[in-house]
Amino acid sequence: MLKPTTTLTKWLGIAFVILSIFRLTPIVNLNGKLLFCFSIAAFFLILSDFIAFLIDIVNDKKKLKRSRPLYSIHSIFLGGAALAIVLLPHLLANVSTKTINAWSDSVTLAGLGIAITLIGLKFERVNKSIFDAEFKETNHEESSKI
């Protein structure tokens, strides 16, 4: 389980929820380019969560103790999320709004698709481990009766 980034991601999540509330007021005005950068950051965070899921699967199978490439990719995605918020808005200064909107829609839909798939995969994994635990318990009880 990846632990050092959990506090950061919790606070970032809370900050974005607060930002979304302020966006409903005249206090905060966000342009399409900045929202696109937030979508890119969210996409990278979703990908890092998917990699963390894969790391957990690899660790559970105990075929590999640690998968360094997966840990590296996880860190790269987290760094990409930070760069998308800090650096990307400055690099997109001359890109047309129409192009930004098309890319933003695409990234948002892809991120949503991965997030929903990941929810399903995690749910399936939890249910399988619950089923496996119950199956082992039932077999143990039956073998102790014999």
Closest CA to 19 of 76, 85, 74, 68: 85
Q: What is the structure's pLDDT at 95? A: 93
Q: Quote the CA–CA distance of 128 and 135 in Å, as a whole number.
A: 10
Domains in the chain: how many in total? 1
Give pLDDT, residue 131. 67
Per-residue pLDDT band at 65 (split at 50, 70, 90)? low
Question: Is position 45 within any domain?
Answer: yes
How many angstroms separate the CA atoms of 41 and 47, rounded?
10
pTM summary value = 0.77
Taking residues 36-64, report their average pLDDT. Answer: 86
Least confident of 6-15, 35-44, 76-85, 88-97: 6-15
Q: What is the pLDDT of residue 92?
A: 92
Q: Report the C-alpha gap between 2 and 55 in whole angstroms.
A: 9
Residues 6-19, mean pLDDT to the nearest whole number: 84
Check if the beta carbon of residue 70 is closer than 8 Å to that of residue 139. no
Q: Does residue 112 have a pLDDT over 60?
A: yes
Average pLDDT, the chain: 84
pLDDT at position 64:
57
Between CA 139 and CA 128 the distance in angstroms is: 16
Query: At CA 65, angle to CA 115 and CA 45, rounded to 5?
Result: 20
Domain holding 60, by residue range, is 31-145
Q: Are 82 and 75 in contact (CB under 8 A)?
A: no
Is 58 within the bounds of a domain? yes
Confidence of residue 3 (pLDDT cuts 50, 70, 90): low
Average pLDDT over residues 61-82: 81
Is the residue at 110 inside a domain? yes
CA distances from 146 to 78, 135, 139, 142 (A): 54, 17, 11, 7
The rounded radius of gyration (Å) of the Cα atoms in the chain is 20
Does 98 map to a domain? yes
At 133 the pLDDT is 67
Residue 3 lies in a domain: no
Of the two residues 58 and 81, the one the predictor is more confident about is 81
Would you say residue 86 lies in a domain?
A: yes
Q: Confirm whether 78 is domain-assigned.
A: yes
Residues 117 and 140: their CA atoms lie apart, in Å, by 34
Instruction: Tell whether 8 is covered by a domain.
Output: no
